[in-house]
Structure 1
Amino acid sequence: MNKIAVEQAFSKAAKTYDQHAAFQRQVGQLLMNKLPRDLSGLEVLDLGCGTGYFTELLALRGAKVTAFDLSEAMLIECQSRCANLSVNYVKGDAERLPFEAHSFDLIFSSLAMQWCTQLDGLMSSLVRVLKPQGQLVYSTLLDGSLIELQMAWQQVDSHSQHVNQFHLIEKLESAVAQSGAKDAQFNTIEITLWYTSAMALMKDLKGIGATHVSGRSHGLTKPKSLLQVDRAYQRFKTPHGELPATYQVCLGEVTK
């Protein structure tokens, strides 16, 4: 994963992110529902905070939040949203955390881990920075997400990667098992969004910055190729004229 390219994509989308992030808010809210209403006094790391939608909610529950993101532009949007709240802002890579051991009571991370490649190191590092009895709650996309888009692209170009490969649940479970955590829970769910066209789906993905795909030929993202993908996607249309975009999501909890 080219983290510089990922950062550039998300920074470019910082101003449009909230307009296209309905799915991200839906998944993040499922995580918020797992947390106590009162987080007063707790040191909380929002890992992959984006524009700060959940940073704000965590701070409003009383937490002292550290908003952490790969993108400087996303952090600027987060700071604007949370200007009057108890929030600290740190730019960095989740796979190279700059925090000391036992720094946080809680780590909240929604739909950020799929941009990390070394799950074993990531999970061990996250557990390291938790305080004893601290908790990590996270969501991440799993293998099989956006399968319809992947299949449509294969009809247009079967030689290049056009949809990111997401983690296998077995790899995630193995990483948690090796992290030194005391307890872990995994809940996998399928969420389907409905679109009028593949172009509308790809517009949402571009709008949130989820456009970097390792190994993709940029020439094949030209309008002609996108229109071909849009036509290939029609095979999934329901009798009501709707097109599905299916996500496989893991909602996980880890206790140190």
Structure 2
Amino acid sequence: MSNKIATVATAIEQSKKLAIANAFGRAAQHYDKSAAFQRQVGHQLIELMSMQQVQCSNPSVIDIGCGTGYFSAKLQQQGFAVTAADLSNEMLLQAHKRCGNHCLYLQTDAENIAMANDSYDFAFSNLALQWCDDLSVPLRELQRVVKAGGVIFFTTLMDGSLNELKCAWSNIDDKQHVNTFKSQQCIEVEIAQSGLTIEVLEYTSIAVYYSTAMKLMRDLKGIGATHLQQHRQSGLVGRKTFMELEDAYNKYRSNNGLLPATYQVCFGVLKNA
């Protein structure tokens, strides 16, 4: 019986990963048009990386969840030998268009990285690890592929992200329309379980502004982030429902006349001691 349960659990997990890969794969060709927030966060992570005074001759780095390779290209330009890694083959095709033969490309799962132990000096992951159920699992994998003394730089979304959108939807129906992410306490527990040493762990709110709720929804769809980890909503959302959403979201309109979409972001620098 236990073997059957394990097999079913594995099949469910594979199905979830396939759904995530497909969601981002569908977004791949148009991802960059909607990814201003992702670029903003990634640039802050790059700055954090430079502040840590990364000093290594011919340093190698794996960019986990590289997407279209925007930061793979930035890392390569800074002198890193880059492996651009993503669960989605369509994303890797876009990364190759951007980076050409300057990077290596690896279609792999962050929870089971298809590389040998001690393959890299560093790891970089921008807003990808929130799609993993247990943060300690990909962190242990990154610990495995990063050499002793190496450093892992990552960002992930936290509980409270897109709270305005979540509250607006709650005025319309009781279905889940927005993903729920880990709390600060949960993140810290799972980092501790990974065995990595915390060099930096910072939490910050970042607001992105839109003229309408519909434009926010289009951006979320454009980056593939409409995939719901917990429960899929049933049925299509009609025009009348979107008009109700606009009305419900309107109460959050700021003094600048725009609607905020606030994200809670964790910035982490972890050392493989």
TM-score (norm 2): 0.88
Distance 1:82 1:43 in 2: 16
Please state whether the residue corresponding to 2:58 is helix, strand or coil. coil
What is the aligned length?
Answer: 254
Q: Tell me if structure 1 keeps the 8 A contact 2:126–2:154.
A: yes
Distance 1:239 1:157 in 2: 28
Structure 2: gaps of 5 or more residues: 1-12
Please state whether the residue corresponding to 1:12 is helix, strand or coil. helix
Distance 2:242 2:111 in 1: 33
Q: Tell me if structure 1 keeps the 8 A contact 2:198–2:268.
A: no
Distance 1:152 1:134 in 2: 43
> What does the per-residue CA deviation read over 1:45-92, in whole Å, with 9 as the maximum and x for residues that have no partner?
00000000000011111111111101111000000110141x111112
> What does the per-residue CA deviation read over 1:134-177, in whole Å, with 9 as the maximum and x for residues that have no partner?
0000011100000000001111112x211001111111111111
Q: Tell me if structure 2 keeps the 8 A contact 1:237–1:244.
A: yes
Higher helix share: 2
Q: Tell me if structure 2 keeps the 8 A contact 1:38–1:61.
A: no
Q: Bigger CA drift: 23-32 or 34-43?
A: 34-43
Q: Does 1:52 align with 2:69?
A: yes
Aligned partner of 1:173 in structure 2 is 188
Q: Tell me if structure 2 keeps the 8 A contact 1:45–1:108.
A: yes
- Counterpart of 1:24 (choices 38, 62, 65) is 38
Q: Does 1:70 align with 2:87?
A: yes
Q: Tell me if structure 2 keeps the 8 A contact 1:45–1:107.
A: yes
Distance 2:204 2:223 in 1: 22
- Counterpart of 2:223 (choices 191, 208, 211) is 208
Counterparts in 2 of 1:1-256, with a 5 A limit?
2-36=16-50, 41-85=58-102, 87-158=103-174, 160-213=175-228, 214-256=230-272
TM-score (norm 1): 0.94
Q: State the shift of 1:221 in Å.
A: 2.8
> What does the per-residue CA deviation read over 1:227-256, in whole Å, with 9 as the maximum and x for residues that have no partner?
221221111112432111000001100001
| Percent identity over paired residues | 44
| Runs of 4+ displaced beyond 3 Å | 36-40
